[in-house]
A and B are shown apart, each in its own frame.
Chain A
């Protein structure tokens, strides 16, 4: 992997040049004490001091609401206008942490499974991920428990790691990353001789994910789901802030009776309506079954079917939860489950 160095003073100049070159920059911005990803107007607005944004960066490829196609009734038929990829901007996602970059793999696993999902695929083709290693973490981070690391380059096109307060080690991981640095080579310097590990946050390992996954294999009928989910309120906060959750609903936005749009929007397996059948039967009628589904999907079904885990240890679900459903704490409990 090619390594470079960029002084802090050149970083924004680089991003400004990338932006002027026609790419949009999707990056964390702090406003009113809250930090969230958005398409920035000026690179000066970018925040790099936060531990974690409330929402992940997944919206760049899987927006919360998206038009899939439009239709219009015509004499003798229906005119369809397919998904329009022409207006999807080329986007550099900047300043996401390694846990977010890694999460595009499970998302791609889901949207790429069987028939590839066109909107997701088209968007991903236009995305470059420039991540930032974590130099700090909080008590809800657990990337190191799910094979990640605060300095992992997995999933990133470029990974930056702060070296002191004056600049960044630049690891150029992919060709797409190279295409972003090469035209601006003058802004980069030779990589310093540093031990990257020493520059990273210390994220404690909370559980053995192998043991958790072995434990889950026989846990379907366990009482643990009822115990753990008793306080769960059944909202979708965990799923919506999760960088790897991909469930969606399909809705109709009619414009009068003769035309309209078909819309895709985020959904959550935690909602009671999620599996409700037209007949009135609901195979997951209570919250404990929905909590079980959430964890088994991420730590059992996805690893088995897609060879990728549905969790990268970002801890957002735990921060977002109104009733403190601390995920690593629940997973630690599962590790020691007596089936």
Chain B
């Protein structure tokens, strides 16, 4: 903890960064803290309980636009940062990433190339709970699966916490807010909620870091991250693991299988 605080103070003091996106103690779980002064840096914490994906703040122009930011990153946040770089949403030199070693020590990444290499070489932290959800839902007959998802999504009231918490949802105008033409019904109702989640997840195809922030953010506890988790698996299975050469829906490969077309 002290290593992090002194490092951040040093970086802030030298002007190497303007703000550090980290965690502080929260009411129940650690919560985000954007530290821009030594006083604030003294509140920083970083350990295995810090799981929220802070990459979501790195595209917020009102907070970090034109600034150099440091960020405390979980493995999944690192993957988000790599994808944001690939999509030209972050600039090399504007973000300094810190992770944790398995022993819990601070691990700075000197360059984003180092970060990418680390993400590629380190297997993702396992997701046994999510994998079990997918297994159970896949095992359902189609009618039962439909009943399950319409039942869950009927409860959604469209607060868009799933969207707000997602680092890859950085559009300034979301598809659900476009009204000429109106692609999606913006009010909460079972079918319009299903449409919204399908759209959200389709836009994530091959881009989603599978961090689970969408599901963790849902105030009603709806398992929307399971749709993203399934999507990530399907994309990897059908098109291979995402690369930095564009996502599956923004690229075309004549060798792509077309077995997903019904």
A, B in one complex: yes
B6-51 contacts to A, CB under 8 A, are 26-29, 31-34
Q: Which of A231, A241, A273 has the most CB of B within 10 A?
A: A231
Alpha-carbon distance between A285 and B65 when the two chains are bound, in angstroms? 14
Residues of A within 8 A of B186 (CB): 249, 251, 265
Could you say which of A34, A253, A287 contacts B221, with CB atoms under 8 Å apart?
A: A34
How big is the B interface, by class? Answer: 35 or more
Is A191 interfacial (CB-CB < 8 Å)?
A: no
Alpha-carbon distance between A233 and B214 when the two chains are bound, in angstroms? 12
Could you say which of A55, A231, A268, A273 contacts B31, with CB atoms under 8 Å apart?
A: A231
Residue of B whose beta carbon sits closest to that of A253: B185
Binds B, one of A9-17, A91-99, A174-182, A318-326: A318-326
How would residues 146 to 157 of chain B score, 1 for a CB under 8 Å from any chain A CB and 0 otherwise? 000000000101
| Total inter-chain residue pairs, C-beta < 8 Å | 100
A200-259 contacts to B, CB under 8 A, are 230-231, 233-237, 239-241, 249, 251, 253
Residues of B within 8 A of A268 (CB): 159
In this complex, how many residues of chain A approach chain B with their Cβ under 8 Å: the count is 42
Alpha-carbon distance between A266 and B159 when the two chains are bound, in angstroms? 9
Alpha-carbon distance between A286 and B221 when the two chains are bound, in angstroms? 28
How would residues 283 to 308 of chain A score, 1 for a CB under 8 Å from any chain B CB and 0 otherwise? 00111100000000000000000000
Q: Is the CB of A266 within 8 A of B157?
A: yes
Residues of A within 8 A of B161 (CB): 233, 235-237, 320, 322
User: 12 more A-B contacts (CB under 8 A) besides A237-B159, A285-B62?
Assistant: A54-B219, A64-B158, A65-B188, A231-B33, A233-B164, A233-B165, A240-B159, A266-B158, A272-B172, A288-B62, A324-B28, A324-B29
What are the 4 A-B residue pairs with the smallest beta carbon separation, nearest first? A320-B219, A265-B187, A322-B217, A235-B164
Which A residues are closer than 8 A to B by beta carbons?
33-34, 36, 54-55, 64-65, 139-140, 230-231, 233-237, 239-241, 249, 251, 253, 263, 265-266, 268, 271-273, 285-288, 318-324, 326, 329
